[in-house]
Structure formats: structure tokens, C-alpha cells
């Protein structure tokens, strides 16, 4: 899978097009540390090596590949990257586009003869989607100390494999997971390029945008419990079927979200136990994803859903419990860095996003920015996600412009983060 240096985004993306294809769901299923994602990590390492980048994997499983031709100290570095894991049946571009574009951007910096005044690192973050362990952005949450490493180590996937076990089998010591001030302290600026996951750029007729913000988002698990029983012999009046309040709750989620302008609320996963056609379930788990630009409104929506679920459970003689699995506040990207990107990319629009990213986690610690590349389908987390070749190259060129500016400026200058936020 190694490619000649001075590749295009399209050639790099083609080289990984067969990795992790999902014949059942369509698209790609590349859970963190699966054979597919591990093979993409190997691909990245070989592409980095082909460019003479010096790669290391840190104690949280984040890959850093350094381009540092003048041997600058690894502080105040410019860092760019994304992730290689996917949602189940996801698209080709969510994550890998940012990684491939970062590699191409290095090629372009070399071709332009850029002489960097500080180091550049290309990063790959593990478990950005949270599709294996339920916590999105697990790698950056661990890096920044936003997640308790003991809790992370104890998370288990659908097969009962714990994150600690998986870390060990991938050469990481679970006891060493957690906040890494040395790694975090090296980041002067972070820029993530990502496929746009909506229609913003289609409507604006532009190939690239600079991000303004990420709306707050969180995940909750609701567990409805009832009485498992026989589908043929149990009269309707005698049932305590947890599927009934689960189904009502799915509809209530939509109803409640409609009341709060700008809200998004989704039930994308529902698991009945034991899960037989002729079996009344004894338990139904469902996972709720709620997002709103105003964190107070997110809280209100989740409260209303919890009340609706409790009343639906009561009507059926069932029980329900609700656990918050993750919650990320809304993020406004650093305005100084955002304006710097805009100045260097004249005419490029500024867009908010409803999708979460490692950049959103890092934004609380270092000045952070994002670039979005047009997705003509406007669809993401689906095989229909798409990027035209020309737009992909345009995105890499924009990223190279941004990196060249940040790498060659005298000082990275002031930013709007408080000292407290950086600590
Ligand atoms: C990740 O893409 C998310 O927004 O959930
Ligand atoms: Mn992503
Ligand atoms: Mn995603």
C-alpha cells in the first residue's frame, strides 16, 4: 500500500479503498484496533516513512509523525491530523480524508521549498467515532485529561473485550493511559481537515470552508426492563414488554427535539435481549444522541426525554434507567486562528458543524481550527458520503497554505485561550 511521495489525495484514498469494506452494511466498518483500522495505521506509518517523517505512538495510542527538517525543538509545533476509525457502515472520507490530506500537504510543502521555523506533526487519533467503546474522541479525551483513564480502561466492546485488554494487545500499557502534558504541551496550533458532513458547502458552492464552531453533543444509554416471555402464550394484558416503552421513547425523542429549534436527537441503536422473533424481550437498551448549540437546551431536552421514558415504562409495568455516556459542550474555535485561516484563504466561507471532532476536544487546550471539504451528497456516516477528486486536492492545497503560513511565521502570536484553559 505504500505510494510514491508527492501523491494526490485521490491516489492515497484509492490505496486504502479496499480496507475494511463492509459487505453487509455497505461502506466501511473500521472499529478502532480492528484488523482494518490497524492496517490503516500501518498504511499511514509507511506513508510517513516514505516521506522521511519520524513517527511515534504515544501512551494513549495517538500516532505523531514529525516533519522537522531543521531539527527545531518539538514545542510550539503545528499539528494536523484526523482519525482512521469509522462508524459501522460509514463513508470513505470521515477521518481518512484529513489524514491523506495531511500527507499530501507535506508533499506540497516540500515541493514549494517551504523552510519551516517550527516542527510539524501529523496525527492519527484512535476511537474518534466511539463506535467500539461508546466514547467518541477517546484518544483526545485521554490526552487532555478530560477522561478518567481508569474508566477508559474498563470500557468494554460488544464482545466483552475491555479497552485495557485491547491496549495491551496493541503494545500500550493501560496504566500509562491518561493526560499527557508533554505531548499536549508540544502543540502550538492544531488544524484538522475533515469532509463536510452536511450540505453547507453545496449550498454555498464552495469546495472548502473554515469551521466556526461545533454544537454541543452527548450520548445516553437507556435500559428498559420487563418480563421476558412467550410470544404466543402471553396475553397482551399480561405483558410487561420493554419494547413498548422503548418504541414510544423513540417517537418521543423526535417529538421533543421538534419543540427545541436547532435540536438534533437520534436513536441509532436499539438492542433487545434476548432478541428472538417469538420472544417478548426481557430488556431493551437504546442509545440516544442529542445535540444543540445551547448546552442548557441540550440538558433540557435530555431531561424531557428521561421523563417521557419513565412515564412510558410505567404504563407498561416496566423499569427504565438512563446513564450519560459522554457529553461535550459546544465549542467555538479560536477566533484569532480562524481569522488567520480566512485571511490566508480569501473568499472561503465559515461554517458551523453538528459533528464532533478531536479538534473540538483539543480546542479547550490549544488554539484549534478546522477546514471542511465539500461533500456533494451532503450525507455522512453512510456509504453515500462523497468528495469529488478536484475538491479533495483543493482541500489539501488549502491545508498546505495554512500549514505553510503557520510554519513560517516568526511567532505563532497571541491567542484567545486563557492560561487557565491551557493548564
Ligand atoms: C462523530 O462524527 C460524531 O459527530 O458523532
Ligand atoms: Mn470524523
Ligand atoms: Mn464521524
CA-proximal residue: ligand 1, atom 1 (nearest): 356
pLDDT of residue 129: 97
Q: How far is the centre of ligand 3, averaged over its atoms, from the C-alpha of 81 (Å)?
A: 14
The pLDDT of residue 1 is above 90: no
Ligand 1 atom nearest 197 alpha carbon: 2
- CATH number of the structural domain 217-328: 3.30.70.360
The pLDDT of residue 2: 42
Of the candidates 78, 100, 89, 125, the residue with the CA atom closest to the CA atom of residue 16? 100
Cα-to-centroid distance, 241 and ligand 1 (Å):
32
Could you tell me the three cell numbers for 159?
A: 464482545
Distance from the Cα of residue 81 to its chain's centroid: 12
Cβ contact 292:329 at 8 Å = no
Interacting residues of 18 by C-beta distance below 8 A, sequence separation 6+: none
Query: Across residues 230-240, what is the average pLDDT?
Result: 98
Express each pLDDT in 279-306 by its tens digit.
Answer: 999 999 999 999 999 999 999 999 999 9
Q: What is the pLDDT of residues 87-132, one digit of tens each?
A: 999 999 999 999 999 999 999 999 999 999 999 999 999 999 999 9
Whether residue 195 has its Cβ less than 6 Å from ligand 1: no
Residue-wise pLDDT for 388-418, tens only, equals 999 999 999 999 999 999 999 988 876 555 4
Closest ligand 1 atom to Cα of 356 = 4
What's the mean pLDDT when you consider all of the chain?
A: 96
CA–CA dist 282, 175 (Å, integer) = 37
- Give, as residue ranges, everything with CB less than 5 Å from ion ligand 3: 94
Percent of the chain exceeding pLDDT 70 equals 96
196 is in an annotated binding site: no
Tell me how far the alpha carbon of residue 114 is from its chain's centroid.
31
| Distance (Å) of CA 101 to CA 97, 108, 243, 332, 389 | 6, 10, 45, 24, 12
- Please give the average per-residue pLDDT across 358-387, as a whole number: 98
pLDDT digit string, tens, across residues 295-347: 999 999 999 999 999 999 999 999 999 999 999 999 999 999 999 999 999 99
Contact in structure between 90 and 129 (CB atoms under 8 Å): yes
Q: Could you identify the atom of ligand 1 that is nearest to the CA of residue 354? A: 4
Are 82 and 27 in contact, with CB atoms under 8 Å apart?
A: no
Whether the pLDDT of residue 85 is over 50: the answer is yes
- For the chain, what are the domain ranges? 9-215+330-408, 217-328
CATH homologous superfamily, domain 9-215+330-408: Zn peptidases (3.40.630.10)
User: Stretch 49-72: mean pLDDT, rounded?
Assistant: 97
pLDDT at residue 419 tops 60: no
pLDDT > 90: what percent of the chain?
A: 95
Q: Is 260 annotated as a binding residue?
A: no
Residue 385 labeled ligand binder: no
Q: Are 242 and 226 in contact (CB under 8 A)?
A: yes
380 Cα: distance to centroid of ligand 2 (angstroms): 9
Atom of ligand 1 minimally distant from the CA of 94: 2
pLDDT at 3 (0 to 100): 45
Nearest to 60 by CA among 130, 142, 128: 142
Cβ atoms 398, 208 nearer than 8 A: yes
- 191 grid coordinates: 488544524
Say if residue 219 carries a ligand binding annotation: yes
Evaluate: CB of 37 within 6 angstroms of ligand 1.
no
Amino acid at each position: 500500500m505504500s505510494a510514491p511521495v508527492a501523491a494526490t489525495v485521490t491516489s492515497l484514498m484509492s490505496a486504502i479503498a479496499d480496507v475494511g469494506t463492509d459487505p453487509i452494511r455497505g461502506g466501511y466498518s473500521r472499529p478502532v484496533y480492528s484488523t482494518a483500522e490497524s492496517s490503516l495505521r500501518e498504511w499511514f506509518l509507511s506513508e510517513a516513512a516514505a516521506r522521511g517523517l519520524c513517527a511515534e505512538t504515544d501512551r494513549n495510542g495517538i500516532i505523531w509523525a514529525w516533519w522537522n527538517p531543521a531539527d527545531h525543538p518539538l514545542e510550539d509545533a503545528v499539528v494536523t491530523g484526523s482519525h482512521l476509525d469509522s462508524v459501522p457502515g460509514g463513508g470513505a472520507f470521515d477521518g481518512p480524508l484529513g489524514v491523506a490530506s495531511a500527507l499530501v500537504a507535506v508533499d506540497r510543502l516540500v515541493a514549494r521549498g517551504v523552510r519551516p521555523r517550527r516542527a510539524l506533526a501529523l496525527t492519527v487519533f484512535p476511537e474518534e467515532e466511539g463506535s467500539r467503546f461508546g466514547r467518541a474522541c477517546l484518544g483526545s479525551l485521554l490526552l487532555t485529561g478530560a477522561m478518567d483513564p481508569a474508566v477508559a480502561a474498563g470500557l468494554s466492546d460488544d464482545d466483552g473485550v475491555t479497552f485495557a485488554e485491547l491496549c495491551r494487545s496493541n503494545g500500550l500499557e493501560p496504566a500509562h493511559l491518561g493526560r499527557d502534558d508533554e505531548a499536549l504541551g508540544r502543540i502550538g496550533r492544531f488544524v484538522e481537515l475533515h469532509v463536510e458532513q452536511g450540505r453547507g458547502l453545496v449550498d454555498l458552492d464552495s469546495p472548502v470552508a473554515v469551521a466556526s464552531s461545533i454544537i454541543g453533543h452527548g450520548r445516553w444509554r437507556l435500559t428498559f426492563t420487563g418480563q421476558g416471555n412467550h410470544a404466543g402464550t402471553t396475553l397482551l394484558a399480561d405483558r410487561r414488554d420493554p419494547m413498548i416503552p422503548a418504541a414510544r421513547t423513540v417517537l418521543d425523542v423526535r417529538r421533543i427535539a421538534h419543540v427545541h429549534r436547532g435540536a438534533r436527537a437520534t436513536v441509532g441503536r436499539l438492542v433487545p435481549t434476548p432478541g428472538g422473533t417469538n420472544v417478548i424481550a426481557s430488556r431493551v437498551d437504546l442509545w440516544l444522541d442529542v445535540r444543540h448549540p445551547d448546552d442548557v437546551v441540550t440538558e433540557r431536552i435530555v431531561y424531557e426525554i428521561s421523563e417521557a421514558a419513565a412515564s412510558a415504562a410505567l404504563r407498561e409495568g416496566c423499569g427504565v434507567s438512563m446513564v450519560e455516556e459522554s457529553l461535550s459542550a459546544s465549542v467555538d474555535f479560536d477566533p484569532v486562528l480562524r481569522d488567520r485561516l480566512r485571511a490566508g484563504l480569501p473568499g472561503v466561507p465559515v461554517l458551523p458543524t453538528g459533528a464532533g471532532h478531536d479538534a473540538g476536544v483539543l480546542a479547550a487546550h490549544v488554539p484549534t481550527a478546522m477546514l471542511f471539504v465539500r461533500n456533494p451528497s451532503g450525507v455522512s456516516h453512510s456509504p453515500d458520503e462523497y468528495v469529488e477528486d478536484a475538491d479533495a486536492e483543493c482541500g489539501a492545497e488549502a491545508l498546505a497554505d495554512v500549514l505553510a503560513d503557520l510554519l513560517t511565521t516568526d511567532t505563532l502570536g497571541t491567542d484567545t485561550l486563557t492560561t487557565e484553559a491551557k493548564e
